[in-house]
Copies of this chain bind each other. A is one copy, B any other.
């Protein structure tokens, strides 16, 4: 197993962590970068990417790929496997869990003799505010 090196609490990392705490929606690295700059915090885009990558590896953030290919991130509340209903317009998110789905996936793996099966499901739509606004 990999030795976990201790992390240093830099100004940048603190800012990113705080931003993630405040946000209730998925954000892209670029969006976080912009948000931080708007707050007057100087953080490099590279640093945002590096920290998000690191947190993703430690399962501290959920990562979802948007339809346009950009990755979006959000703090991870549940440790369990779950899915999301994400607003295409504002990123507002509802966390979902569904045992049936997991069971279905498991039974399919068995039926078709696949091993090591993982699944990714994401729902994208327009939340109430954004449907109204449009």
Contacts and interface: CB of A to CB of B under 8 A. Distances in A.
A121 interface: yes
A18 to B, nearest CB: 27
Given A115-B131, A116-B131, 19 more contacts: A65-B69, A85-B117, A87-B114, A88-B116, A94-B108, A100-B104, A101-B104, A105-B123, A109-B125, A114-B123, A114-B125, A114-B128, A114-B131, A118-B124, A118-B125, A119-B122, A120-B121, A120-B122, A121-B121
- What class of interface size applies to chain A in its complex with B? 20 to 34
Identical copies in the complex: 2
A38 interface: no
Nearest to A124: B118
Contacts of A65: 65, 69
Contacts of A115: 125-126, 131
Interface of A: 65, 69, 85, 87-88, 94, 96, 98, 100-101, 104-105, 108-109, 112-128, 131
